[in-house]
Structure 1
Amino acid sequence: MRVILIGPQGAGKGTQAKRISEKTGARVISTGDMVRAEIKAGTELGRKVKEYNDRGELVPDEIIVEMAKPHLGAPEGWVLDGFPRTEAQARALEEVLAELGIGIDRVIALEAPDEVLVERLSGRRQSQATGRIYHVRYDPPPQDSEEDPGPFVQRDDDTEEAIRRRLELYHEQTEPLKRYYARQGLLAEVDATRSIPEVTEQVMKAIRENG
């Protein structure tokens, strides 16, 4: 099973990718995780990527494609979280998949209004110990936890200004992918404002319908 999750920042792509993985055994390929790993490692690539992130801008296509490419041949299948984000990336992905002799089974678009996403994202806090994301209102960081001692910080790209810039970029550059994949008969749209289990149920239903 090879599924792409698209949607604005904060729509729950990471959460749903993990839940799909748990249900199907498919590997989660998160370009966001790859990017953060490079930043944490302090590599030259990581420093370049951080500059884009801090400005609320998209990382260039060639960097994302190169990071994702080694993982796309996974025999257990995959769920792509955060990639592709532009039509150019989508076409580059198709070229890589053609080389590997594999295709895309389903593209799920998670939908939510901008104001809901701003509220979700500005309340996020990330553990510097584990990398896990929490929310001050919906999923507060643990207190005095040995499993995740923190500290819990707001990422530079979770400020309201950076969030709104990312949403603008999503509408300009990524949202057109819905039309792109709809023409291929791969797209399903899911209401991401519902509860996490409800969203997962709708995502799995969409995957089965195209299976």
Structure 2
Amino acid sequence: MRLILLGPPGAGKGTQAQRLVERHGIVQLSTGDMLRAAVAAGTEIGKKAKAVMDAGQLVSDDIVIGIVADRIDEPDAKAGFVLDGFPRTVAQAEALEAMLAEKALKLDAVIEFKVDESKLVDRIVNRAEQAKASGQPVRKDDNPEVFVKRLDEFRALTAALTPFYRERGLLRQVDGMAPMDTVTGEIAGILAETVA
């Protein structure tokens, strides 16, 4: 099972990716998590990514594609994976398609989270408050100003992925504003139809 979860920041992709991991025994390939791990480890790629992420910008395609290509080759990804936060651009989507073809792999589905963007800022503020209340660190991208900038970048770059994947017959949509369990159910229905 090889999936992409597509949608703006704060749409609930990370939560649903975790549920897919638990239910299907696949791995979540979150470029955000992989990049944060590289930053924490102080790797060369991590140092490059840190400056870009701290400014609320997206890291370059070559950094992200390199991380994803290596990760797909790891043994725990053989049973399948869910990509969360990648691809972000049509160029990345094309590179992913080529990379998978070289490995004789293909995507099963691309699930787009449809959301009311005007309500996402409130969701992010709540997420930051919950993290503080539980003593967890607040993600830098949970700052409302940084978040709004990321939302603008999403609209400018990532929105083009909807027609890209629709043309390939892979795109399915769920209501990202629905309760978490409802979204999980919608995704399960999609997978029952699309994954052999």
Distance 2:163 2:182 in 1: 25
For 2:127 and 2:44, the matched residues in 1 are separated by: 27
1:98 corresponds to: 101
Larger CA deviation: 112-121 vs 179-188: 112-121
Distance 1:117 1:197 in 2: 18
1:122 alignment partner, one of 122, 125, 147: 125
CA distance in 2, matches of 1:208, 1:176: 26
Q: What does residue 182 of structure 1 align with?
A: 166
Unaligned stretches of 5+ residues in structure 2: none
**Partner amino acid for 1:203?**
I
Structure number with the higher helix fraction is 2
SS at match of 1:89: helix
Post-superposition offset of 1:176: 1.0
Letter in 2 for 1:66: G
Q: Matched residues in 2 for 1:202 and 1:190: separation? A: 6
Distance 2:156 2:174 in 1: 20
Post-superposition shift, 1:141? 4.2
Q: What is the deviation of 1:208?
A: 1.6
Equivalent of 1:198 in 161, 182, 185: 182
Return closer, same or farther for 1:140/1:162 CA change in 2, 3 Å cut-off. Answer: closer
- Quote the Cα distance in structure 2 between the aligned partners of 1:47 and 1:115: 33
Q: How far 1:123 moved relative to its partner?
A: 3.0
Runs in 1 of length 4+ with deviation above 6 angstroms? Answer: none
- Aligned residues, how many? 192
Report the RMSD for the aligned CA atoms in angstroms.
1.6
Q: TM-score, normalised by structure 1?
A: 0.85
SS at match of 1:123: helix
Amino acid at match of 1:97: L
Deviations 1:37-63 (A, max 9, x none): 111122332222122212221111100
Identity between Structure 1 and Structure 2 (%) = 42
Matched AA of 1:153: P
**Would you say the 8 A contact 1:55–1:157 is kept in 2?**
no
Gaps of 5+ in 1: 126-134, 143-149
- Residue number in structure 2 paired with 1:43: 43
The TM-score normalised by the length of structure 2 is 0.92
| Counterpart secondary structure, 1:182 | helix
